[in-house]
Amino acid sequence: MSKLTEIFGSNVFNDAVMRERLPKTTYKAIKKTIDDGLSLDPSIADIVAEAMMNWAVDKGATHFTHWFQPLTSITAEKHDSFISPTSDGNIILEFSGKELIKGEPDASSFPSGGIRDTSEARGYTAWDCTSPAFIKDGTLCIPTAFCAYNGEALDKKTPLLRSMEALSIQALRVLKLLGNTSTKRVITTVGPEQEYFLIDKKLYDQRNDLLFTGRTLFGAMPPKGQELDDHYFGVLKDKVSVFMKEVDEELWKLGILAKTKHNEVAPAQHELAPIFTTTNIATDHNQLTMEIMKKVALRNNMVCLLHEKPFAGINGSGKHNNWSMATDDGINLLEPGHTPHDNEIFLVFLTAVIKAVDEYAELLRVAAANPGNDHRLGANEAPPAIISIFVGDQLQDILEQLENGNATSSKSTSKLKIGVTTLPPLPKDATDRNRTSPFAFTGNKFEFRMVPSSASIAAPNFTLNTIVAETLCQVAERLEKATDITVEVQNILTETVKNHKRVIYNGNGYSDEWITEAKRRGLPNIKTTVESIKALIDEKNLALMEKHAVLSRVEMQSRYEISLENYTKVVNIEALTTIQIAKREILPAAIKFATKMAESINTIYSTGSGADTSVQTDLLLEVSALTASLKKNILILEESVTKTASLQVDPYEQAYTYRFDVFEKMSLVRAAADRLETLVDKALWPFPTYGDLLFKL
């Protein structure tokens, strides 16, 4: 066995380990739960728990934890050791089925958005056996869902699991009606491509903005940015290469299918992509990936920045959420095949996605919203905030045929000709890449590209699962009533294309024409996180989530409040950090520089030499004017934060004021400070510049 196959999954309580360590009947019972989505037989929990503990202890673990994903941007864990005292003063190792299935973390310090008062601190974690347990830092980690005393979800996993069930139910209905009787379950799959920056730890430590907010709040553009396109896919620096290798190994041990790594567009930016798996496991794996990237970076004296926009003026980071649906017997329902025009199942599922994205664009938008992403979506960087779908030439042609009746042909995707006889002919993909589309069909999956780099991918995926469950449900209802299924399928396809073609756009999503055109088509263009959050309490969306039992009205309301509170807190921290750095670091540096100029002028003057002091005078005047403007803008910002923080208004209005008052005023402070950076002596500047951070690794 090669080293790689040996380490892969070595820290995971996976299928092979279970088969080896569990009695046959127990193994079969748990497999049924995992593979067929049946409920768990509690009587087997004790046996599984013991096997799990023994396996973990054999691997050096001493503790276990219920690992969960509260409504923050991180995962949570509380460690308990396996030890239990005996009467003779010794210990035995114990881990019961009860401890495996259920945990009771004091939940009062996690956000609940009013679901749970602090006085009712009880929260429960429940074992999710569909995502395998693993060992991390000597602790057996058990993936769990997290809920309140009355069962309301306080986490990201619960709605995701619910949405997978919802989609499976509706997809099965449709498949049966279309003649597929062999499929027992439909799963949703995702492969998230993770972007990130790596910077030097010593430089990072000198920047309080990075420390407190994850992004730079100051920084003039260096002479060189990303304009030469010399970083994308470029040769890896040794340090980066070592980092990536270590990350890969750590991820492989956890059974994470880390596959592709490369340099990204911006200097110091990189990407890691795994091979896709079910949406639930992929979501857990992505959380672990982010955690491990941060840890391994630190080990190598670097810091991994996952923020969506660490540097103004330089490309930010996102996650490309590659999503599809597959049957338990291995058919990708979004695989067009060679002649998509007569692939009925593909067309039904494809158009169901198109309709879902058009009808629930606002929900998808909020699923990709966080404060960091506001610097990307709809701002100076793409993808735009408008949700549209790219389908490519071949499907565009088929959809146009469908709009007018039957689709009778598929444009061929012939071989690519490179014009060199020694090179092999390459099969041409059905779609070219359109990097400007927020939701692109890329061969046999949709790539949702708005997803924030630092956030969990749970929300984008449970949203996708649920909105598509709904449109599939509508298809099923019509087909169940139809006398002639074939005719009705045709009607549905034609109608769906007619009614929803407005969401399809194959052109340049970054262009101004598209903004105008999208407006004409009536597509929403929601530019800010705060505004997007409204969708969480929109009646249409509440009804949808309730109908498919993914999130109740109370749970949606709580997420609405948590999202607003989170936005408010993030901008408040950013504003306070801006003020502190400007006052205590930048102002003193500017004054020092101005003093130096004044001293120089005085010295020269006192020599009576008559030497020219005009340069010093110009600099002194310019720096003094900017310093005054900086001071004035700090005061304006301070006033705005103080006022906004104490506003007695509903959470929406407060968040809105943070966005359109506090946030705007932060940029005034920054503008003056960044201009000062270009004038003040580099030796006096209080922290590393963009040039240092981006190019000196």
Asked if 323 is part of the footprint of ligand ADP (rule: CB under 6 A), the reply reads: yes
* Contact call for residue 322 and ligand ADP (CB under 6 A): yes
Candidate ranges 225-233, 321-329, 523-531, 587-595; the one touching ligand ADP (CB under 6 A): 321-329
- Is residue 493 left, alpha or beta, with left meaning phi > 0 and alpha meaning psi from -120 to 50? alpha
Pick from 534, 329, 364: which is nearest to 449 by CA?
364
Residue 691, SS3? Answer: helix
Span interacting with ligand ADP, options 91-99, 439-447, 529-537, 548-556, rule CB under 6 A: 439-447
Cβ proximity to Mg ion, 53 vs 282, nearer residue: 282
Question: CB under 6 A: which stretch of 121-129, 139-147, 293-301, 440-448 binds ligand ADP?
Answer: 440-448
By C-beta, is 320 or 355 nearer to Mg ion? 320
Q: Is position 274 an interface residue for ligand ADP (rule: CB under 6 A)? A: yes
Interface positions, 330-389, toward ligand ADP (CB under 6 A): 332
* Binder among 253, 319, 445, 559 for ligand ADP (CB under 6 A): 445
Min dist. Cβ of residue 447 to Mg ion (A): 6
Residue span 224-263 as binding mask against ligand ADP, x where in contact by CB under 6 A, dash where not: ----------------------------------------
27-56: contacts with ligand ADP (CB under 6 A): none
Cβ pair 200, 696 in contact under 8 A:
yes
For 54, other C-beta atoms within 10 Å of its C-beta total: 14
Q: Residue 621 and residue 444: Cα distance in Å, rounded?
A: 62
Q: At closest approach, how far in Å is the CB of 183 from ligand ADP? A: 16
Rounded to a whole number of angstroms, the minimum distance from the CB of residue 38 to ligand ADP is 24
Q: Which residues make Cβ contacts (< 8 Å) with residue 498, sequence separation at least 6?
A: 403
Q: Which of 661, 632, 475 is nearest to 568 (CA)?
A: 661
Distance of closest approach, residue 537 Cβ to ligand ADP, in angstroms: 31
How far apart, in whole angstroms, are the C-alpha atoms of residue 271 and residue 290?
12
Give the interface segment with ligand ADP, choosing from 441-449, 450-458, 527-535, 600-608 (CB under 6 A): 441-449
Residues 6+ apart with CB under 8 A from 142: 52, 64, 65, 66, 67, 100, 127, 133
**Could you tell me the two tokens for 293?**
């990237």
CB nearer to Mg ion: give 335 or 546. Answer: 335
Which member of 144, 317, 324, 568 binds ligand ADP (CB under 6 A)? 324
Nearest C-alpha neighbor of 170 from the set 550, 667, 676: 550
Please, which residue, 326 or 497, has the CB nearer to ligand ADP?
A: 326
CB of 440 to ligand ADP, least distance (A): 9
- Asked if 275 touches ligand ADP (CB under 6 A), the answer is yes
Nearest residue to ligand ADP by CB is: 191
Q: Among Mg ion, ligand ADP, none, what does residue 189 contact (CB within 5–8 Å per kind)?
A: ligand ADP
Chain CA centroid to CA 505, Å: 24
Q: Shortest distance, CB of residue 320 to Mg ion, whole angstroms? A: 5
Whole-number Å distance between alpha carbons of 177 and 482: 10
Q: Choose among Mg ion, ligand ADP, none what residue 445 binds, the Cβ cut-off being 5 to 8 Å by kind.
A: ligand ADP
CB 478 within 8 A of CB 494: no
Q: Contact at 8 Å (CB) between 172 and 186?
A: yes
Q: Which of 159, 29, 46 is nearest to 102 (CA)?
A: 46
Site string for Mg ion, 609-648 (x = CB under 5 A): ----------------------------------------
Minimum separation from the CB atom of position 164 to Mg ion (A): 23
What are 229's two structure tokens? 């396109």
Alpha helical stretches, state H, 254-306 = 279-299
Residue number, 273 or 356, with CB nearest to ligand ADP = 273
Which one-letter DSSP state was computed for residue 271? E
Peptide bond connecting 383 to the previous residue in cis, omega within 30 degrees of 0: yes
Would you say 175 or 353 has its CB closer to Mg ion? Answer: 353
Q: Can residue 457 be called a binding residue for ligand ADP (CB under 6 A)?
A: no
**Half-sphere CA count of 626, side-chain side, radius 13 A:** 27
- Least Å distance, CB 244 to ligand ADP, is 16
Chain position whose Cβ is nearest to Mg ion: 320
Size of the site for ligand ADP (CB under 6 A): 15
- Please name which of 131, 157, 186, 33 lies closest in space to residue 461, comparing C-alpha atoms: 157
Q: Which residues 6+ apart lie within 8 Å of 20 measured at CB?
A: none
Contact 467, 356 (CB under 8 A): yes
Nearer Cβ to Mg ion (280/322): 322
Of 68, 276, 439, 560, the one binding ligand ADP by CB under 6 A: 276
Which among 351, 348, 337 is positioned nearest to 173, based on CA atoms?
Answer: 348
Residues 271-330 that bind Mg ion (CB under 5 A): 320
Enumerate residues 611-650 that contact ligand ADP by CB under 6 A.
none
Q: Is 442 in the site for ligand ADP (CB under 6 A)?
A: yes
State the burial class of residue 238 (Cβ atoms within 10 Å of its Cβ: 0-12, 13-18, 19+). exposed
Query: Which residue from 556, 374, 332 is spatially nearest to 463, judged by alpha carbons?
Result: 556
Choose from ligand ADP, Mg ion, none: what does 444 bind? Cβ within 5-8 Å by kind.
Answer: ligand ADP
Selected from 10, 33, 444, 557, the binder of ligand ADP by CB under 6 A is 444
**Closest CB to ligand ADP among residues 444, 508:** 444
Distance between CA atoms of residues 195 and 192, nearest Å: 10
Contacts of 139 (CB under 8 A, 6+ apart): 61, 62, 63, 64, 65, 77, 79
Q: Binding to ligand ADP by residue 285, rule CB under 6 A? A: no
Q: Across-strand partners of 319?
A: 194, 451
- Minimum CB distance to Mg ion, residue 457 (Å): 14
| Distance in Å, CB of 187 to ligand ADP, minimum | 10
Per the CB < 8 A criterion, the answer to whether 311 and 210 are in contact is no
For the bound state, the minimum distance from the C-beta of residue 192 to Mg ion, rounded and expressed in Å, comes to 10
Can residue 189 be called a binding residue for ligand ADP (CB under 6 A)? yes
Binding window for ligand ADP (CB under 6 A); candidates: 13-21, 73-81, 189-197, 207-215: 189-197
Q: How far apart are the first and last CA of the chain?
A: 37
Choose the stretch contacting ligand ADP; rule: CB under 6 A; options: 188-196, 448-456, 613-621, 639-647: 188-196
Picking from 625, 637, 623, 631, the residue whose alpha carbon sits closest to that of residue 583 is 631
Query: Between residues 103 and 192, which has the closer beta carbon with respect to ligand ADP?
Result: 192
Number of C-alpha atoms within 13 angstroms, CB side, residue 429?
A: 11
Closest approach, Cβ 435 to Mg ion, in A, equals: 9
How far is Cα 476 from Cα 304, in angstroms, rounded to an integer?
46
| Short-list 688, 687, 73, 657, CA closest to 373 | 73
Find which of Mg ion, ligand ADP, none residue 273 binds, CB within 5 to 8 Å per kind: ligand ADP
Cβ-based nearer residue to ligand ADP, 115 or 459: 459
Binding site for Mg ion (CB under 5 A): 320
Binding site for ligand ADP (CB under 6 A): 189-191, 193, 273-276, 322-324, 332, 442, 444-445
